[in-house]
Amino acid sequence: MSSIVPMTYAKAKTTPQHPIGSGFGPETNAAEVIRGIDLSGKTAIVTGGYSGIGLETTRTLLSAGAKVVVPGRDLSKATRALAAMPGAITETLDLMDPISLDAFANRFVGSGQALNILVNNAGTMANPLTRDARGYESQFATNHLGHFQLTARLWPALLRAKGARVVSLSSVGHRRAQVNFEDPNFERREYDRWAAYGQSKTANALFAVGLDTIGEPDGIRAFSVHPGGVVTDLIRHMSTEEVRAYGVLDEHGRPIIDPARNMKTPEQGAATSVWCATSRQLEGLGGVYCENCDIAVPVPGGSTELRGVRPWAIDRGFARELWNLSEKLIGISFPN
């Protein structure tokens, strides 16, 4: 197991988990965030960047001149969704399959390209208990471990950029659960699909803390993001009754849009990802959890608010513990 993270933590420069007054807010959309930013000559990877929030993230980065690689499990769906977007390149990638992860990353790294922006956007939510080929619980495997392995394998390309950003989509759903380091894969406890989702979203936030620590000396900065409540394919494992109970649909079954209450359009949902990936306001900063196009406020663990970041999702000790656990489960040392 690598000892790099514990060794580096003591020297890391930390960014306060405190809003910086970005001038944006809940209603801001991705097009507003990207205005005035030129990404010509830059390359981005957006996992799952062919539907929902990911599609809007891809569209926005392309609009600023970036080349965007969109890896996904359903290549035909991705190709159809991106057919009208010149500059988007589709690739096959299954976050639950370590062989697929390595194959994609090896192709990209082997091409000699620099990777300026990596948006770990793809995910699953509240699905019945399933496991990947290694026996790991699917939400933890897809949302966290798959992206951990992908980022590790793409590390040489991120270093080539001489200044890169990695954005991981977390969620206010992290409030539902901390990472259970003793039983992350529900092998000895009863499976709870919402606790599993919350654990994976906490892991996404902690990954940004750990990644920024090791990346900062080489100009690689990491952020985690709560995009807001956006009705996308992510709700496919929820019944109609469940969705209605959350109060996000009107009487006609259409999404209610009210950014002040955390209910957003996909364009508004993509805004914080794009802000973290491109904003000049974040130069020299990293390792923080963001929402509404700003650094989020810390809130107590018992808070019932659908905003802010809970203490267990930004704890540097937990981030170190998750890093070591992830290396052990995947069988890699990162960086190597």
- Which pair of structure tokens corresponds to residue 267? 């364009």
Query: Given a cut of 50, is residue 213 above it in pLDDT?
Result: yes
Residue closest to 208 by CA, chosen among 48, 40, 322: 322
The 10 Å Cβ neighbour count of residue 246 is 12
Query: pLDDT by residue (tens digit) across 225-273?
Result: 999 877 655 555 555 666 556 566 666 677 767 787 778 999 999 999 9
The mean pLDDT of 86-90, rounded to a whole number, is 92
pLDDT at position 10, please?
41
Residue 298 three-state SS: strand
pLDDT at position 133, please?
87
At CB < 8 A and 24+ separation, what contacts does 177-185 make?
Answer: 177/202, 178/202, 178/312, 178/318, 179/203, 179/206, 179/312, 179/318, 179/321, 179/322, 179/325, 181/321, 181/322, 181/325, 184/136, 184/137, 184/140, 184/325, 184/329, 185/131, 185/135, 185/136, 185/137, 185/140
Helix residue spans in 216-332 (DSSP H):
240-245, 266-269, 271-278, 316-330
CA dihedral 85, 79, 149, 63 (to 10 degrees): 10
pLDDT at position 53, please?
95
Task: Give the least confident one: 47-61, 111-125, 217-231, 243-257.
Answer: 243-257
Q: Does the annotation count 197 as an active-site position?
A: yes
Contact between 320 and 5 under an 8 Å Cβ cutoff? The reply is yes
Query: Given a cut of 70, is residue 181 above it in pLDDT?
Result: yes
- Which pair of structure tokens corresponds to residue 329? 């489960």
Task: Give the least confident one: 78-82, 109-113, 237-241, 261-265.
Answer: 237-241
The mean pLDDT of 328-334, rounded to a whole number, is 94
- pTM reported for the whole predicted model: 0.91
Residue 40 C-beta-side C-alpha neighbours within 13 Å: 2
Beta bridge partners of 90: 70
Q: How far is it, in rounded angstroms, from Cα 290 to Cα 109?
A: 29
Cα Rg, the chain, nearest whole Å:
18
Task: Out of 191, 197, 246, 289, pick the active-site residue.
Answer: 197
Q: How far is it, in rounded angstroms, from Cα 292 to Cα 305?
A: 15
Q: Domains in the chain and their CATH numbers?
A: 4-330 (3.40.50.720)
Q: Which helix (H) or strand (E) holds 118?
A: strand 117-120
